[in-house]
């Protein structure tokens, strides 16, 4: 991807190494300014990205971004050592890192800007023609981000606490378990703590770098490893030392933007499906689910096919985080012929087409088992949640109301 500008570089003194590397990577035009000129420059040139080569006050950067509007404008801050960027939304890059790292991170961020611009254009086009679509989620992306913390050494408990206070957390005591979670869940970052052989960590990072699905994944490691990995393969790989809270503060800005990109992809899927997909979970919206279920009941009656509906409930129905995680997991598990939604009370409804009661029990228990082992309860203990499941098979005289009534919460039983 080309580094299409304008790109503003903010520095009190010339930084030829940064500018030359950006130019060599194809960035154009590049606008070099001093800190006090940032707001005016942002207003006049409407930058695609801002590089803070020197620290800049947070209010100065925020004021400049107010002048740019949408789509997303990435801000990349060069920071010394383990310091934090003054602007909380900036993506940090160590000032001593090779210039290729800054370029790769900028390219990664610009991919998200391009995705955001595409989604905004499609939303505008649909609204212009009077179409309806679900609202774009506008909460902090960290609210629905999930990070894996892998480790088995002394730093592991403190790292899990520092990360888990801010975002959804999954702990892994081995890199094999972490690799499985990356493929099974929507993950927005991984922090690799101590307790692992460095050669194993190197091999794990090399595998991630060879898989395009994880190209933009934020990765924090507590080792000086991965130096031979090309920055373009893992542009958001950083090596950390020191206080776990400081490590979390350095990793989470990258996690936030990764979660934002995941949100945009779910919104794009919703647009592809003409608004029937909930951009928060990837499941159908409740209204679309009920329409499809009514149609499925009619088809099953005409063809004599089986149909079953299962309701999955977690221990805390009203916990947004647990319900969100469960919805995204179910979206990955349901067959193409089946469909699901998150109900008003946070439970998950799944319609199993061409399925009799016996087969529905098998499918529901499989889903419940995955939820049990991969969904975490809210609070400091972050324990697993035991889902409960209720199943109803379609009867000859059923309507949508009577079918749904038979899986009401009062009739739930514990999942095996």
In a domain, 136, yes or no: no
Is the overall model pTM greater than 0.85, yes or no?
Answer: yes
Q: Are 376 and 181 in contact (CB under 8 A)?
A: no
In a domain, 275, yes or no: no
Residues 221 and 247 occupy one common structural domain: yes
Is pLDDT at 410 greater than 90 in this prediction?
Answer: no
In the listed set 242, 270, 298, which residue is the last one of a domain according to the structure?
270
Tens digits of residue pLDDT in 242-272 = 789 989 999 999 999 999 999 999 999 888 8
Residues 58 and 112 occupy one common structural domain: yes
Tokens representing residue 134 in the block:
């679900």
Nearest CA-CA partner of 373 in 329, 410, 408: 329
Q: What is the CATH number of the domain that holds 258?
A: 3.40.50.2300
Tens digits of residue pLDDT in 201-237 = 999 999 999 999 999 999 999 877 777 889 999 999 9
In the listed set 270, 301, 330, which residue is the last one of a domain according to the structure?
270
In a domain, 134, yes or no: no
In a domain, 276, yes or no: no
Residues 380 and 405 occupy one common structural domain: yes
Tokens representing residue 154 in the block:
């002394």
Residues 193 and 258 occupy one common structural domain: yes
Q: What is the CATH number of the domain that holds 400?
A: 3.30.70.270
Share the mean pLDDT of the chain: 87
Percent of the chain with pLDDT over 90: 51
Is pLDDT at 384 greater than 80 in this prediction?
Answer: no
In the listed set 128, 159, 188, which residue is the last one of a domain according to the structure?
128
Nearest-angstrom CA–CA distance, 33 and 47? 12
Residues 410 and 329 occupy one common structural domain: yes
Residues 307 and 381 occupy one common structural domain: yes
**Amino acid 96: pLDDT:** 86
C-alpha separations of 123 from 58, 108, 119 in Å: 31, 23, 6
**Amino acid 318: pLDDT:** 52
Tens digits of residue pLDDT in 21-78 = 899 988 889 999 988 899 999 999 999 999 998 877 788 888 888 888 889 999 999 9
By DSSP bridging, strand 388-393 and strand 413-414 are antiparallel
In a domain, 135, yes or no: no
Q: Are 29 and 6 in contact (CB under 8 A)?
A: yes
Residues 26 and 48 occupy one common structural domain: yes
Residues 292 and 219 occupy one common structural domain: no
How many domains, in total, are found in the chain?
Answer: 3
In a domain, 133, yes or no: no
Using pLDDT thresholds of 50, 70 and 90, give the confidence band for residue 81: confident
- Which domain, by its residues, includes 389? 281-414
Residues 155 and 221 occupy one common structural domain: yes
Q: Are 44 and 88 in contact (CB under 8 A)?
A: no
Q: How many CB atoms lie within 10 A of CB 119?
A: 21
**Amino acid 373: pLDDT:** 73
Residues 288 and 407 occupy one common structural domain: yes
């Amino acid at each position: 991807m080309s580094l299409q500008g304008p790109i503003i570089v903010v520095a009190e003194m010339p930084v030829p190494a940064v500018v030359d590397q950006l130019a060599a990577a194809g960035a154009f035009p590049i606008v070099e300014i001093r800190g006090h000129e940032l707001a005016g420059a942002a207003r006049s040139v409407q930058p695609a990205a801002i590089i803070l080569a020197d620290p800049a006050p947070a209010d100065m950067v925020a004021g400049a971004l107010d002048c740019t509007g949408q789509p997303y404008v990435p801000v990349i801050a060069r920071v010394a050592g383990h310091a934090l960027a003054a602007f909380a939304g900036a993506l940090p890059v160590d000032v001593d890192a090779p210039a290729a790292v800054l370029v790769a991170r900028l390219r990664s961020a610009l991919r998200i800007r391009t995705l955001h611009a595409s989604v905004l254009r499609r939303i505008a086009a649909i609204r212009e023609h009077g179409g309806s679509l679900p609202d774009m989620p506008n909460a902090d992306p960290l609210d629905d981000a999930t990070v894996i913390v892998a480790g088995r050494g002394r730093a592991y408990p403190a790292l899990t606490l520092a990360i888990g206070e801010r975002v959804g957390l999954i702990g892994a005591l081995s890199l094999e378990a972490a690799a499985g979670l990356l493929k099974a869940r929507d993950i927005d970052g991984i922090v690799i703590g101590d307790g692992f052989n460095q050669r194993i960590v190197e091999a794990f990072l090399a595998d991630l770098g060879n898989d395009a699905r994880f190209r933009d994944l934020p990765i924090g490691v507590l080792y000086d490893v991965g130096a031979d990995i090309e920055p373009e393969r893992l542009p958001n790989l950083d090596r950390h030392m020191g206080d776990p809270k400081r490590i979390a503060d350095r990793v989470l800005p990258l996690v936030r933007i990764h979660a934002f990109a995941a949100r945009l992809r779910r919104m794009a899927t919703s647009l592809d499906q003409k608004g029937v997909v909930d951009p928060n979970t990837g499941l159908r919206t409740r209204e679309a689910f009920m329409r499809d279920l009514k149609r499925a009941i009619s088809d099953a009656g005409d063809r004599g096919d089986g149909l079953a509906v299962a309701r999955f409930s977690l221990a805390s129905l009203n916990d947004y985080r647990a319900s969100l995680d469960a919805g995204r997991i179910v979206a990955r598990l349901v067959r193409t012929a089946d469909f699901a939604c998150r109900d008003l009370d946070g439970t998950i409804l799944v319609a199993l087409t061409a399925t009799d009661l016996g087969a529905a029990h098998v499918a529901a228990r499989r889903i419940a088992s995955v939820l049990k082992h991969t969904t975490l309860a809210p609070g400091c203990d972050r324990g697993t949640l035991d889902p409960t499941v209720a199943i109803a098979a379609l009867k000859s005289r059923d309507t949508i109301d009577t079918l749904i009534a038979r899986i009401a919460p009062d009739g739930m039983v514990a999942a095996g």
